[in-house]
């Protein structure tokens, strides 16, 4: 199983990725764990994610604009964060590593 997360110090942020992105990044575990400095935001989590898994660049947010791709959705503590600012501080359970940040492919298409 791919190491999904040994981190140094501080709580590890848990990130759950959709199947296709786990496959692309050759991640065999259900979640990855990332070290993210406070304040923990979506932007910082994605920065850390793409730093570790460079092949995920451009797959969740667009190059250039940095905006979330239209069919990718982001949930935290059962709330839809897709339309929140990328710089908004995520809920404490996510920042503390008790809850995962969920990145999902929207149910779209046929």
Partner 1 sequence: MSSVRVLVGTRKGAFILMSDGKRKDWTVSGPLFAGWEIYHMKGSPVDPNRLYASQSSSWSGQVVQRSDDGGATWNAVSNKFAYAGVPGTHQWYDGTPHPWEFKRVWHFEPSLTDADAVFAGVEDAALFKSPDGGATWEELKGLREHGTGPRWQPGAGGMCLHTVILDPSNADRIFIAISAAGAFRTDDGGKSWKPINKGLVSQYIPDPTAEVGHCVHHVAMHSSRPNVLFMQKHWDVMRSDDAGDNWHEVSGNLPTDFGFTIDVHAHEPETIFVVPIKSDAEHFVTDGKLRVFRSKTGGNEWEALEKGLPQKDCYVNVLRDAMAVDSLDKCGVYFGTSGGQVYTSPDAGDSWAPIVRDLPAVLSVEVQTLQ
First to last CA, the chain: 32
Nearer to partner 1 (CB atom), residue 6 or residue 108? 108
Told to check if 58 binds partner 1 by CB under 8 A, we report yes
Q: Which residue in 28, 30, 38, 71 binds partner 1 (CB under 8 A)? A: 71
Nearer to partner 1 (CB atom), residue 47 or residue 89? 47
3-class DSSP state of 8: coil
Q: Which residue in 12, 15, 21, 46 binds partner 1 (CB under 8 A)? A: 21
Cα angle 109, 102, 20 (rounded to 5 degrees) comes to: 50
Q: Which residue in 3, 39, 51, 57 binds partner 1 (CB under 8 A)? A: 57
List all residues 6 or more positions away from 54 whose beta carbon is below 8 Å from its beta carbon: none
Give yes or no for a contact between 89 and 39, defined as CB atoms under 8 angstroms apart.
Answer: yes
Where do contacts with partner 1 occur on this chain (CB under 8 A)?
18-21, 23-24, 54-55, 57-60, 62-64, 69, 71-72, 105-106, 108-109
């Amino acid at each position: 199983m791919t190491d999904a997360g040994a981190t140094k110090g501080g709580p590890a942020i848990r990130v759950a990725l959709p199947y296709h992105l786990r496959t692309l990044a050759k991640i065999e575990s259900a979640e990855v764990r990332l070290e993210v400095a406070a304040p923990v935001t979506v932007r910082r989590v994605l920065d850390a994610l793409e730093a570790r898994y460079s092949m995920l660049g451009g797959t969740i947010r667009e190059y250039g604009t940095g905006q979330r791709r239209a069919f990718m959705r982001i949930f935290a503590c059962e709330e839809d964060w897709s339309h929140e600012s990328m710089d908004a501080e995520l809920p404490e359970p996510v920042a503390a590593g008790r809850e995962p940040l969920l990145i999902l492919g929207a149910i779209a298409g046929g």
